[in-house]
Structure 1
Amino acid sequence: MSLTQAGGPPGWSRRIVVLLAWLLVVGLGAIVIARTQIGADLSAFLPKSPDLRQRVLIEQLQSGVASRTLMLGFEGGSVEQRAEVSRAVGKAMRESQLFDLVQNGDVSDWSEAGTWVFQHRYQLSSGVMPGQFTAEGLRDAIIDTLSMLGTPAGNAIKPLLDRDPTGETQRVAMELVPASAPRSEGGVWMSRDAPRALMIATTRAAGGDLDAQASAIARVQAAYEAAARGMGEAAPKLLLSGPPVFSVMSREKIKTEAIHLAVVGGIVMSVLLLLAFASPRALVIAFLPVATGVVVGTASVSLVFGSVHGLTLGFGSTLIGETVDYAIYYLIQARGATVAGTGWQRWREVHWPTVRLGLLTSVCGFAALVFSGFPGLAQLGVFSIAGLVSAALATRYVLPVLAPDGATGMGMRRHMARLAGLLVRGLPGLRWPLGALGVAALALVLWQGGHLWRADLSAMSPVPRSAQQLDEMLRKDIGASDGGVLVVAFGDDEQAALRHTEAAAARLDALVDKGELSGYETVTRVLPSVATQTARLASLPDADTLRANLVEATKGLPLPASRLGAFVADVEAARKQAPVQRADLMGGPLGSVVNTLMYERPGGGWSTLVVLHPGPGFDQGRLEAALEGLPEVQVVDVGRELGGLYKRYLHEAFVQVLLGALAVVVLLGVYLRSWRRLLAVCQPLLFAVVLTLGGMALAQAALGILHLVGLLLIVAVGSNYALFFDQLRTTGRADEDTLASLMLANLTTVVSFGLIAISDIPALSSIGRVVAPGALLALLLSAAFARKVAPKSRHSG
């Protein structure tokens, strides 16, 4: 009798088809993954349908100047060495074309920009107004200019005196200097309280383009190494920080940690499985569903979302803990068939329905995440569902081809079965104390209430505290805005955005006068709106009127009107100039300033960013009041908006988890068709979740979104245990292999999530610290609430 005739696995032709189909799916998944972009910015965990302020915030986090700003320090060495390195690195960065703006106080190559500003000074200067060119206005302006000849700026003013006696060029230049720029020494910026040269730069690529950001950072490091070469150990040390550094660092750390966890977890579980199966072949087979789940889950996220967030990739290591359970159930439960080659059929008929139901409950739980309004959470849902389904299908169809009778070696499984038998006999006697403990844990959780769920979005970031402290130090030295409060103006087109920016600037000037702002930076300093430029040029008098006014204005001054013929000619020429457009600046020396502070919005229209430099008396409420009545200008408090978003995020996640739990209960009710059995299955899952939360409350842990995901995983993993015990309960007795499979599956799950719990990635450790104890509790409670189950010994080979 052939194996097929005996009910064994299919013939060779069908085996080959199954294996080829599986290899094709895994191969295509690997190809997709190889072409996938890995992200790490937390904007993926912001809503995909934001309101106006949230949209402004997301735009800034993804591509705004804050997301593209690098801060550099060159610490140590002599003043001359720091200045030399700063100039060399700055020059290399400008030449690389990877940066929109590079500022280090070095103005040696600003001659082209100065020439352009001088030629367009009457369009750019805020001092150009009708009263400026009356006899009285001219006299005041000329006196102010002459008084500056004895100052450090005098050397720059003197060559321009005859052509720019009103000092318009100097006024524009002063407005372009950051309000809180560091001191200058050796021709570059230096810290006021440390031996450190300073630099700030804005990358050309969007903040979310991590490959481009990594290239820019690598260019900085290469430029530094070239500049410091030859200085030996005395060379200044490079300090580098900013959002691009954080994003690239996070991506690399998450990828490294995910690989590390996968390797360590794989080694640990390999040892456990070898001890259990005493068979290298069974070990390899056990990992096939795991590999299938990780590959298909990652590829599915890439196909649906276009990229994979680093946290989703790290989440793959958590999938190992559950998907390996499917292989363990099969390899142990399919053994011992009375006819060789039929173990797979017995497993399919007796145990597969239970595994399948456990899979469906997991899918129901995670399906709620798929419809989340937050892309990051939706990615976790798609990953989990695709990974679990593919792993289960690989167990159902591929493993019977490779191991028709499961794993034949016994290893330590008989000892595991005996221990499980002791638990099955002893734990039901503890169900009342365990129930009382669960009630106490529930009371503690309810008492702590919202205080327990106090984590924020930043808790998901893997950036170490030392890197954050370096960022704070460099930001303070440079005087850069911390980006805590953003002012953004927007319009349907470029000119509308510029006009709205000018309206905001007019009100901000009042706050500067009061000392509440040290100053601010705006694109309209180099690109005023056409309306403003037209008004300025219209205020310029004709040549005859200007000459007459100059004669009167210069009486008694050391600068006679007869020397100012070139000034009159320049004003006359300016009257005929066309307004400066944005396109005119592109490719020029000031195009980088425009690109930094003005951008086209993804959904259409244009926006500009006003960079604030708060003064000692800064009050956000007064800032908002000053800009009130300008609907096209938004004040965005980044911390407050992120806090509000996270609360909305958490609330939505709670709703989704509850909907997922309800779907699980409905599914179980339809399948079990018995209120008593439904209660018996759900009871241990509920108590496992409550006791885990109670333990977190006792540990005073700050819970967040990913702890909720961990609770879903407890239900997903624990449902398999509860359903198997329900199966055993209905038959009244349990064979050793079933108990051994449950014990081994739980052991591998607890170990894998225990390793994740000690991860350096907060998001992953959050999940591990919830699931490791929760999965153990789910098994113990499933045994405790099981009744009339006695282990039945089944000796087979």
Structure 2
Amino acid sequence: MNVRAPRPPGRPGQVAVTLWALLLLACVFVVSRTTFTTDLSAFLPRNPNTEQRVLVDQLKNGALSRTLLVGLSGGTAEQRAQASIALASALRTDPAFESVVNGALDPEQREHDAALLFRYRYLLSPDVNADRFSVAGLRAALNDTLDLLSSPAGLSLKPLVNRDPTGETLHLADQLDAGGHPPIQYGAWSSKDGQRAMLVLTTAASGSDTDAQEHAIATVRDRFAALHTPLAIEITGSPKFAVDSRATIKHEVTRLSLVSAVLIVVILLFAFRSAPMLGLGLLPVLTGALVGVAAVSLAFGSVHGITLGFGTTLIGEAVDYSIYLFIQSSDRTRRGTGLGSDDRAGRRAARDARVRRWVARAWPTVRLGMLTSVCGFSALTLSSFPGLAQLGVYSIAGLVAAATVTRWVLPVLTPLTLTVRDMSAVGARLMRVADAARRHRVLALVLIAAWIAAAWLTHPRAWLNDELSALSPVPPQAIAEDQALRAQIGAPDARYMVVVSAPTLDAVLEGAERAAPVLDRLSASHAIGGYESPARYLPSEATQRQRQESLPPAAELRARLAQAADGTPFDPQALEPFIADVDSARTQPLLTASWLRGSSLGLGVRAMTDCSPGRCHALLPLRAPSASVEIDANAVRAALAGVDDGPARVSFVDLKQASDSMYDRYMREALRLALAGLAVIVALLALALRSLTRLVRVLGPLLAAVVTVVAGLGIAGVSLTLLHVVGLLLIVAVGSNYALFFARHAEQDMPEAITYASLAVANLTTVAGFGVLALSSVPLLKAFGETVGPGAILALCLSALFSRHAPRRPDPSPEPAREAPLS
């Protein structure tokens, strides 16, 4: 192939270096202002359905994403309660927390809540209706109050009798307590087994603000430490998971990046035998990483930690380009190019001649290999899942930048006096091994077929993992501890909830009220253990008006009350304050969310509603009947099917089912995108190679490597996740470089030994970059390592095994291998 050699680097080279330096400065500026996240919401769809939207909202800003459960254990029950009260008191004054609940209200808060309940008792109480204020209803209520006065609880009711003889305040308190709060010991919540004092904290910051959540958790620990108590503290919940996940990912990325960097440095030092050459060889990698992060930041506004983890793998492929340049331009097949010149001009001419020869012989193959990687990753940028699209943008920007720096910047920056190790002897040994292996191609095919058959027969599970939890960095032990603490406090099951959707908050409250009778029947039948509803704390306007209309005028109530009190100890004259309160309630303004602000009722409404202009959701969490009995999801779904009347839409949501459904969609999309990327790669190679035979020789080993890796994972009992699928695409992208060099080495006018040596070193660095990820405890990173690491080795070996054996070209440089000056 005749490729016109470029002109020696002169002024254009200086321009390239200047542009490169400016690019680095711009990228550093962008990266310094980049926000890094670790929450899984980046791997959620942009346009979710109703159930998925609930999941997305909960992960980002919902009450679940802002709720911490705290348990204090050890010591006596009294010590735990005292510590709980002291800790809650300290946290309530901290702006990091929206609410701190432990069953013990401070006197000021208790007084505020009591005044609010008493003032609006006739609008809040579900017992208020026309029958309640009939003569018979009033008589029954007065008799109930008499019974209560004769009980131990009567002392608390006695001061209220003249203003509330029907006991609405106590009925309302019982109704609000229907949420199943934990038992109280020594004035504070206790766990069901009595071994912990329990607190529920809601942070003020958004659930997606991991920095604020970390600060809140640190505040809890600091305030607890300041108590100087021998008790132990347990903290769990979604904010804790987010903070721990970020710390884990950060630790893993740092640790694995360091390990892979050390391995790559050792490999390159072995190959180059020169520290300055090593530094030059890493420039494309560093440039690619910076450009990749900056590109993702500009395109998405933030960078996910998994994208950074994936960036460590970029080292493995991006460093290949400088390896090809330095090793392949160090051969001695050309003489008379000024190698022995002592003058600077002669050394420069010799270096430029080497670069021109490499560009003419190898750059077209390197460029084509880079373009195949770009085509493969370009499909990921079309994903509706931002996390997957980030990986595509990062890879494309990083690889293009690395290849560009290798082609136009490294030749200019390389000092004239640097030397590169001549690795033709190493390549010759590898070539002899490959020649011997080619005689056993049929045996290799039989072994691959047997390997695949073994995987098919022994794989114990489904080939594709259909659970979103497979991507979660939260360890199973942490999840188990959270479930145990949640069960001890009697918290609603975070998995099941009823979702009411409508344009306004009031319409949502009406929908919640329509669902309440159905949920009450389900609770009575033990299909569920109970539920929470914002309508308990804030009835809809229609319900409040209906209750107002059921209240009789003062004169009518006075007459009815006189009849009802006849024969009882109650003096109708003493109940005039009651008549005045009822008459006032008939015309008092309706209760709104703004009036509840700052009260316990307001916190309950805010925790269960999520409203934005034109859209509002109410979340009604469901409790399981018992710790050993799960919610009957089918019964709940069937019972709610007929509730969907009016402006509000009532639906049953299984968050696990929603997440699995979303993950299934995610997996299908990833498979489609991977196949699309493969199709683009095939089209590009077909256009470049212009030969069906050569196309098969390039793609055959790559597909064989992919299938072999999948079989190996199957034999190991590993089901494929989304990141495994991306890793398989990466095998094709990385391996195409090897296959192309073997397919085109005859027309490159390059000795086979040099080709083998450069590919071997490049492969080792790729395996070092990707393979170490298999040691990660983060599933997202581990999937890359256990896929691309062995896949890269197989791609190289199979490409060499099935490559066409070219006639051996005599080496005009018979002397022993030694340092070859790059000058």
2:344 maps to which residue? none
**2:263 matches 1:268:** yes
- Provide the rounded CA distance (Å) in 2 between the counterparts of 1:329 and 1:97: 57
1:630 maps to which residue? 643
- Provide the rounded CA distance (Å) in 2 between the counterparts of 1:494 and 1:263: 52
Once the two structures are TM-superposed, the CA of residue 481 in structure 1 deviates from its matched residue by: 1.7
**2:553 matches 1:542:** yes
Q: 1:619 to 1:17 in 2, by over 3 A?
A: same
CA contact (8 A) 1:203 1:213 kept: yes
Once the two structures are TM-superposed, the CA of residue 718 in structure 1 deviates from its matched residue by: 0.4
- Provide the rounded CA distance (Å) in 2 between the counterparts of 1:88 and 1:34: 41
2:192 maps to which residue? 192
Question: Any unmatched runs of 5+ in structure 1?
Answer: 1-5
CA contact (8 A) 1:179 1:519 kept: yes
- Provide the rounded CA distance (Å) in 2 between the counterparts of 1:376 and 1:253: 18
- Provide the rounded CA distance (Å) in 1 between the counterparts of 2:398 and 2:460: 34
The equivalent position to 2:288 in structure 1, one of 278, 281, 293, is 293
Q: 1:783 to 1:453 in 2, by over 3 A?
A: same
2:173 maps to which residue? 173
**2:723 matches 1:724:** no
The percent identity for this pair of structures is 43
Helix, strand or coil at the partner of 2:474: coil
2:388 maps to which residue? 377
CA contact (8 A) 1:60 1:66 kept: yes
Amino acid at match of 2:691: S
**Is 635-644 or 54-63 further displaced after alignment?**
54-63
CA contact (8 A) 1:9 1:401 kept: no
1:3 maps to which residue? none
- Provide the rounded CA distance (Å) in 2 between the counterparts of 1:404 and 1:791: 31
Q: Normalising by the residue count of structure 1, what TM-score does the alignment of the two structures yield?
A: 0.94
Amino acid at match of 1:259: T
2:214 maps to which residue? 214
- Provide the rounded CA distance (Å) in 2 between the counterparts of 1:695 and 1:406: 47
Helix, strand or coil at the partner of 2:179: coil
Kindly provide the CA deviation profile for residues 228-270 of structure 1, in whole angstroms up to 9, marking residues without a partner as x.
Answer: 23x3xxx211110001110121112112211111112111211
Once the two structures are TM-superposed, the CA of residue 100 in structure 1 deviates from its matched residue by: 3.0
**Is 759-768 or 133-142 further displaced after alignment?**
133-142
Amino acid at match of 1:270: V
1:88 maps to which residue? 86
**Is 256-265 or 352-361 further displaced after alignment?**
256-265
Once the two structures are TM-superposed, the CA of residue 155 in structure 1 deviates from its matched residue by: 4.2
Once the two structures are TM-superposed, the CA of residue 386 in structure 1 deviates from its matched residue by: 1.1
- Provide the rounded CA distance (Å) in 1 between the counterparts of 2:384 and 2:417: 43
Helix, strand or coil at the partner of 2:235: strand
The equivalent position to 1:249 in structure 2, one of 244, 248, 254, is 244
The equivalent position to 2:658 in structure 1, one of 624, 635, 641, is 641
Kindly provide the CA deviation profile for residues 325-358 of structure 1, in whole angstroms up to 9, marking residues without a partner as x.
Answer: 1111112112247342222222211111101100
1:62 maps to which residue? 60
**2:784 matches 1:785:** no
Q: 1:419 to 1:566 in 2, by over 3 A?
A: farther
2:341 maps to which residue? none
Once the two structures are TM-superposed, the CA of residue 729 in structure 1 deviates from its matched residue by: 4.2
CA contact (8 A) 1:332 1:407 kept: no
Once the two structures are TM-superposed, the CA of residue 43 in structure 1 deviates from its matched residue by: 2.5
**2:26 matches 1:28:** yes
- Provide the rounded CA distance (Å) in 1 between the counterparts of 2:377 and 2:491: 43
Once the two structures are TM-superposed, the CA of residue 581 in structure 1 deviates from its matched residue by: 1.5
2:137 maps to which residue? 137
**2:318 matches 1:307:** no
- Structure 1 segment 427-576 matched on structure 2, within 5 A: 427-443=437-453, 451-454=462-465, 456-576=467-587
CA contact (8 A) 1:729 1:786 kept: no
Helix, strand or coil at the partner of 1:535: helix
2:435 maps to which residue? 425
CA contact (8 A) 1:93 1:99 kept: yes
**2:716 matches 1:699:** yes
Helix, strand or coil at the partner of 2:439: helix
Q: 1:159 to 1:792 in 2, by over 3 A?
A: farther
Helix, strand or coil at the partner of 1:564: helix
- Provide the rounded CA distance (Å) in 1 between the counterparts of 2:747 and 2:452: 30
1:606 maps to which residue? 616
Helix, strand or coil at the partner of 1:117: helix
Once the two structures are TM-superposed, the CA of residue 523 in structure 1 deviates from its matched residue by: 1.2
Q: 1:496 to 1:10 in 2, by over 3 A?
A: same
- Provide the rounded CA distance (Å) in 2 between the counterparts of 1:484 and 1:114: 33
Question: Any unmatched runs of 5+ in structure 2?
Answer: 339-349
Q: 1:400 to 1:153 in 2, by over 3 A?
A: farther
**Is 38-47 or 756-765 further displaced after alignment?**
38-47
CA contact (8 A) 1:277 1:407 kept: no
Q: 1:354 to 1:140 in 2, by over 3 A?
A: same
Amino acid at match of 2:329: A
Amino acid at match of 1:503: R
Once the two structures are TM-superposed, the CA of residue 767 in structure 1 deviates from its matched residue by: 0.9
Q: 1:676 to 1:383 in 2, by over 3 A?
A: same
**Is 671-680 or 519-528 further displaced after alignment?**
519-528
1:652 maps to which residue? 669
The equivalent position to 1:752 in structure 2, one of 750, 755, 769, is 769
1:765 maps to which residue? 782
- Provide the rounded CA distance (Å) in 2 between the counterparts of 1:377 and 1:700: 25
Once the two structures are TM-superposed, the CA of residue 174 in structure 1 deviates from its matched residue by: 2.2
**Is 340-349 or 785-794 further displaced after alignment?**
785-794
Q: 1:424 to 1:733 in 2, by over 3 A?
A: farther
CA contact (8 A) 1:547 1:568 kept: yes
CA contact (8 A) 1:180 1:613 kept: no
CA contact (8 A) 2:162 2:574 kept: yes
Amino acid at match of 1:252: A
**2:277 matches 1:282:** yes
CA contact (8 A) 2:379 2:677 kept: yes
